[in-house]
Structure 1
Amino acid sequence: MSVVLRRLADAFALLGGGILLAIVAVTTTNAFAFILDRIAGLFGTDVAGLPGYEDFVQLAISCAALMFFPYCQANRGHVSVELLTNRMPQALQRAIDLLWLGVTIAVALFLAYWMIFGMREVRSDQVVTSVLGWPSWPFYIPGLLSMILWALIAADQVFGDAANA
């Protein structure tokens, strides 16, 4: 596999992990504020949660979730049924692997294609989050790039493995 694609997959996964850590930190803070609000309620006062918490989590998870796909593909971490294929001839195993890599490429490019249309529509409609007022369209970009990187890694596995076979 190409070193550049491997490094990009690693970087996407690390960035996705960083985003998940931010989600956990914000969720923990908001949960702590909820507990403090219940305690403060006993004394006739209140503690507000984080404004726009749901907006942030929704946008952040939409980025982070897709950023792990390229890393998973680079490490062949996808689901496969090896109970049957391990007993098949090597040539048939390779053919099945190539078939599913082709399906993976098609699915990743299909999703990227439609994400472009979704992003363009959200941008033209000037969709913003309900509390924070952040525009939603830029949060499509990490997912779109993840889908393209996923397809590139699967294609590299098809053609890179064919060169090594």
Structure 2
Amino acid sequence: MHAFLQRIAGGWAFLGGVLVIAIVLVTAVNVGAFLLDSLLKPMGIFVPGLPGYEDFVRLAISVAALSFFPYCQVRRGHVSVELFVQHFPPTLQNILDRMWLLCTVFVALFLGYWMIQGMLETRADHAMTSILGWDEWPWYIPGIISMALWALVCLIQTFERKTHG
């Protein structure tokens, strides 16, 4: 695997991790506000939750989840069925591994294509979040990048000499 691509996938996953931390922090603040509101409401003190919390979390989770796919692929952390295949000759294992890597390239590109279509449709519909009023279409871009990066990692792994083990 090319070190440059590994760094890109790692950096992309890191950004996804930062987004997960932001989701956790926003959720903690919102839960804290809910608890304070429950405790203080009998005294006539109201503590509102974060406006647009659901909007942010919905969009951020969609970005964060996909950002880990390329790094997972770099690390070969994806699910594989080795119990059955481990008894095959190494040559056949290698052929099957490369075949599934190519299939994964096409799956990632297929998903990326449909994400582009969804983004274009969302943009044409002027879809916005209900509370914050944010445009939704830009949130597709990181997912599209994730799918392209995932496909690229798989493609490079397909043509590496050693593809498993």
Establish whether TM, by shorter chain, passes 0.5: yes
Which residue type is aligned with residue 132 of structure 2? L
Please name the residue that 1:88 is paired with.
Answer: 88
TM-score, normalised to structure 2, is 0.96
**Distance in 2 between the 1:15 and 1:149 partners?**
14
Which residue type is aligned with residue 58 of structure 1? R
Which residue type is aligned with residue 11 of structure 1? G
Which residue type is aligned with residue 88 of structure 1? F
Please name the residue that 1:46 is paired with.
Answer: 46
**Distance in 2 between the 1:143 and 1:66 partners?**
6
- Deviations along 1:50-108, whole A, 9 cap, x unmatched? 00000000110111010000000000001011111111100110011011101100100
- Deviations along 1:15-62, whole A, 9 cap, x unmatched? 000000000000000000000000111212210000000000011011
5 Å-filtered alignment, 1:1-165, equals 1-161=1-161
RMSD over aligned CA atoms reads 1.2
**Distance in 2 between the 1:113 and 1:152 partners?**
14
Gaps of 5+ in 2: none
Shift of 1:162: 6.8
**Distance in 2 between the 1:17 and 1:162 partners?**
29
Which residue type is aligned with residue 103 of structure 1? C
Shift of 1:161: 2.8
How many pairs align?
A: 163
Three-state SS of the structure 2 residue aligned to 1:161 is coil
**Distance in 1 between the 2:162 and 2:105 partners?**
16
